[in-house]
Structure 1
Amino acid sequence: MDQSLLRFAQLQSRTDVTFWMEFGERKLNEYKLSEAPVEITGWLGASTYSEVPTAIQLDASSFPDAAATSAAMQQEQADAAALPGVCAASATRQGMHQVPGTLLHSNTLDALNREDKVAALNKVAAQLWADIASGAAEAEPRLLCKFLLLAHVDLKHYKVTYWCAFPALLPPSPFTTDAAGGCAPLASAVGPEAAAQVAAACNAWRFPADAAAASATSSSPSQPPAPYWLLHSKAGDWSDTVAAPLSAWSSLQAGAGAGSPHKTALALVDPCNTPEHPGWPLRNALLLASTRW
């Protein structure tokens, strides 16, 4: 079967005004003249519209220890939504997954322009490869979707200049696909009935109805599900599909036994809105799969 290069749709970012308001407060009262990197958190979800992709979202809760300050607001929204079977503490983040980022903030616009962006990207890429090689990314899959945010905020004139990047490691050879023109719809690849089972397993992973009953590797009131997971079928036809964390790869293969028709697949939350191409977050996950498995 002819193979074609697998192309990936670019990832985008979206910063809410509350993100910059929170940064302004911290710059005045906490960071001051320091330009030390700040570890932040973004939120990523699957695309639900065919017209536009989903972007990594940043808001006031993206900063360290900011979750406590926004907990009351999230609780009010969750109570108002009154969603059946949804954990109140995570209702406002249903379908969203945490991804880690680093904020490099400069005191002046000139300093931002002089920032060595290549060196900053290489540093993130080196840590990304270390996380893949050590197995840390399997234990904490969100590490595969690290991002970098460089910014300068003019607090006097309320002007923000920023640049967001999503590092992806290059594989030894480009990834290819057997599907003509890019990707194949799930139903055409495994059949409608099996596709329904796969979708149900993915939904069970991404939307655990009860955090108390959910696996600690999947979700808890304070820790949304990982943006990458495994799908496993003992029968090999996906009629009995279950979801599992990336760290379960070895145990799933060992438990299946020699000669078993089992199949295991990599799944992720895809922000891309086009059916022809997967989203950018798949790149590092494929490199992990080809390196570790």
Structure 2
Amino acid sequence: MPIVQFAPLSSLVQPALWHKLTDLKIDVLKLSDASVPISGSYAAGRSVKDRESGQEISLPCNITVGSESFDSDYSAPHGSVSVAGTLKNFNTIEEFKAADKTAIFNSEAQIVWDTILKTRDTTQLNRFLLITFADLKKYKYYYWFAFPAFVSKPAWEIHDRGWHSAEEELGVDALSAIHVQLTSQSTAFPYFLVRKEPSGGVSIAPVESYETFYASTASENQIIAFLDPSSDPSNPGWPLRNLLTYLRALYPESTSKLRILRWRDTEAPPSPNIPWKSQLGTLSVASTEPTIVDSSSPRPSAVGWEKNPQGKLGPRVADLAPMMDPTRLAAQAVDLNLKLMRWRILPALDLDRISSTRCLLLGAGTLGCYVARALMGWGVRTITFVDSGKVSFSNPVRQPLFEFADCLDGGKPKAECAAASLKKIFPGINATGHTLSIPMPGHPIPPNASSISQAKADVEKLESLIEEHDAVFLLMDSRESRWLPTVIGAAKGKIVLNAALGFDSYLVMRHGARVSSLSTGANGKPHQKLGCYYCNDIVAPADSLTDRTLDQMCTVTRPGIAPIAAATAVELLASLLQHPDRNHAPAPPPNTNASVEANEEEGLSSVLGLVPHQLRGFLGQFKTMPLVGAAYDRCTGCSEIVLQAYEKDGFPMLLQAFNDIKYLETLTGLDKLFEEGESAINDIDWHEEEDDF
């Protein structure tokens, strides 16, 4: 009799699987090469008719895997059966090539054999193995599937009639009855038993019920069935191999000759004129003395590595780069570089907290351009520029978001041009620009209706923008332009970061947040009230732009100062966002020499290190000094008296601050402080010593 030939399984990998593997590798596995569970599914075999010849062409016996294959509650599609498997991803291509594939394969085959002997669970008979190497920089995935199947010795043979129509032997009614019973189950059976009843009907049961289900049934009325992924009329699908091994190992006395039903009718024929597709065949194996199989019995040899498209045993390659959206490629590349930090260096780094932070940059000049580039490096996805100027010919060499063409025809608006440049660099960025003049103290608003209306609209726009963002960077040229966003940011509880430049020095600081007397931080201590940009001054912001020479109107600095200050400001934000108290993070003492562990215990640091209040850098000495400035209760920018006046009166209060240079000093009591100081000086009795010569 002819030896039974089996149609091998082949893999059908949906591209989404590789995207899911990418996430798994970056966020979960990292440097681990531990095996992880994976699932797949297969369905009844299908064929297509060749239009020219009219012949039926069998489609491959596919096991399908996709993004959902990693889900713990994986459920196979309707009419399909689920298959459990193991995925092992290697860290390098060299490890992938040099892996002991025989040992890995035998380990998976042993799982199937142990299942047969210990649990008799047929759902584990079709396990598969997938070994991979994910080249995440080039989006290439090297992979090799194996479908372990045991070799029968002696081989199974098929009787002379071969595989023939089940409809001819069992009849339409019997097949219909089987179909009804199978579809009434919540899940499809990979294998099942069929019993012909004396009444002429049929019953089905799981293969695990073999002994009890066939206890009093004649062998001619017993049929072993399986969902056949093969539509080849001559060769049954690969899953039959392990089913035959299962039956011979557990029931050797009664399974040397079996009637096998290749079930392929997961859907009944739509009309009586269309025949059922399932087939029957009688298989037998050379009868030997039945051998008792137990847990100590050796495992049969197994085969099952999948061949590549060249018909050889070897891995395959999935190259997703050509078919991926370039924007998505860029986004994944940005995230990859950041997520690699968490593999060895900072496992606790919360990248989502940084990338989801909406940043408002007030000023699109040298500082604004460098701050934006550094924010993009951290994966920040929302960056908004505000500026009132246009790109000039002196800008492109110092401000990296502009080029020569942006200066022509009077220059493009800086804010909008900077946002457009960010999108050219990374299309996935949500970048916008707003041309807006920020009203300032010491710069009176003309007393006509249109000017006041425009100033009010500018204030409302700025308030709206600050409300919509999480962090505000003050990157303007003048001292007084920082006052209004300082007040609004403090009132709305936003993170406010300030960067200011000198010729060879710079200041980077975070403004302190409002605190209540009862609020405490993660360390259990009361929140520290830190100062803002104006807390160290005892004068209100005034006009610093009028009557300035050319070198005073331009920001004259050493070229390296701006990128250093901008990068420092962004890194300060990143550290602040990682601190459990965020905007209320306490500032470390200026000269702290405590260990990293001690700083963590005191709540002074985040996973990125210390979170200073102020940093003053001196490029002449290549020196950076961390400083702490306490909040000043008469501050013209963040004191409660100013914030409450703003919250109570709104624009009228602001308008008064713009127009009246003495208003803020009077509001905060600085005028009385000046008077007290003058009085104290006048009360001093100065004595001039006579010259001895």
Please give the secondary structure, in 2, of the residue aligned with 1:13. strand
Q: State the alpha-carbon separation in 2 of the partners of residues 15 and 287 from structure 1.
A: 28
Q: What's 2:578 paired with?
A: none
Q: State the alpha-carbon separation in 2 of the partners of residues 30 and 195 from structure 1.
A: 54
Aligned residues of 2:116 and 2:122 also touching (Cα < 8 A): no
Q: Which structure has greater helix proportion? A: 1
1:206-231 Cα shifts (integer Å, max 9, x gaps): 432xxxxx4xxxx2xxxx32311111
How far apart are residue 60 of structure 1 and its match?
A: 1.0
Aligned residues: percent identity?
A: 29
Q: What's 2:229 paired with?
A: 271
Tell me, yes or no, if structure 1 residue 176 matches structure 2 residue 157: yes
One-letter code aligned to 2:69: S
Q: What's 1:229 paired with?
A: 192
Please give the secondary structure, in 2, of the residue aligned with 1:4. coil
> Which runs of 5 or more structure 1 residues have no equivalent in the other structure?
68-89, 209-213
Map of 1:23-62 to 2, 5 A cutoff? 23-49=21-47, 50-51=56-57, 52-62=59-69
**RMSD, aligned CA:** 2.1
Q: State the alpha-carbon separation in 2 of the partners of residues 154 and 201 from structure 1.
A: 51
Aligned residues of 1:94 and 1:207 also touching (Cα < 8 A): no
Q: State the alpha-carbon separation in 2 of the partners of residues 33 and 205 from structure 1.
A: 48
Q: State the alpha-carbon separation in 1 of the partners of residues 173 and 131 from structure 2.
A: 42
Please give the secondary structure, in 2, of the residue aligned with 1:36. coil
Q: 1:248 aligns with which of 194, 201, 209?
A: 209
Q: What's 2:20 paired with?
A: 22
1:149-176 Cα shifts (integer Å, max 9, x gaps): 1111111111011000111111231011
Q: 2:176 aligns with which of 197, 200, 203?
A: 200
Please give the secondary structure, in 2, of the residue aligned with 1:9. coil
Q: What's 1:76 paired with?
A: none
Change (3 A) 1:242 1:154: same
How far apart are residue 65 of structure 1 and its match?
A: 2.9
One-letter code aligned to 1:60: S
Please give the secondary structure, in 1, of the residue aligned with 2:20. helix
Please give the secondary structure, in 1, of the residue aligned with 2:38. strand
Q: 2:78 aligns with which of 87, 94, 97?
A: 94
Tell me, yes or no, if structure 1 residue 185 matches structure 2 residue 173: no
Q: What's 2:129 paired with?
A: 148
- Between structure 1 and structure 2, the one with the greater Rg is 2
One-letter code aligned to 2:179: N
**Highest RCO, 1 vs 2 (Cα 8 Å, sep ≥ 6):** 1
Q: State the alpha-carbon separation in 2 of the partners of residues 273 and 262 from structure 1.
A: 25
Q: State the alpha-carbon separation in 1 of the partners of residues 192 and 238 from structure 2.
A: 16
Change (3 A) 1:108 1:243: same
Map of 1:214-225 to 2, 5 A cutoff? 214=185, 219=186, 224-225=187-188
Tell me, yes or no, if structure 1 residue 122 matches structure 2 residue 83: no
How far apart are residue 198 of structure 1 and its match?
A: 4.2
1:31-75 Cα shifts (integer Å, max 9, x gaps): 1111100111111101122421330000111103364xxxxxxxx
TM-score of the superposed pair, with normalisation by structure 2: 0.33
One-letter code aligned to 2:164: A
Map of 1:147-166 to 2, 5 A cutoff? 147-166=128-147
Aligned residues of 2:46 and 2:230 also touching (Cα < 8 A): no
1:182-221 Cα shifts (integer Å, max 9, x gaps): 5233234x2xxx242443244235432xxxxx4xxxx2xx
Q: State the alpha-carbon separation in 1 of the partners of residues 24 and 130 from structure 2.
A: 16
One-letter code aligned to 2:42: L
Change (3 A) 1:13 1:97: same
Aligned residues of 2:38 and 2:84 also touching (Cα < 8 A): yes
| Aligned residues between the structures | 242
Q: State the alpha-carbon separation in 2 of the partners of residues 94 and 124 from structure 1.
A: 27
Is the deviation greater in 26-35 or in 224-233?
224-233
Change (3 A) 1:144 1:32: same
Aligned residues of 1:231 and 1:266 also touching (Cα < 8 A): yes
Aligned residues of 1:98 and 1:226 also touching (Cα < 8 A): no
Change (3 A) 1:172 1:133: farther
How far apart are residue 262 of structure 1 and its match?
A: 6.5
Q: State the alpha-carbon separation in 1 of the partners of residues 113 and 177 from structure 2.
A: 29
TM-score of the superposed pair, with normalisation by structure 1: 0.76
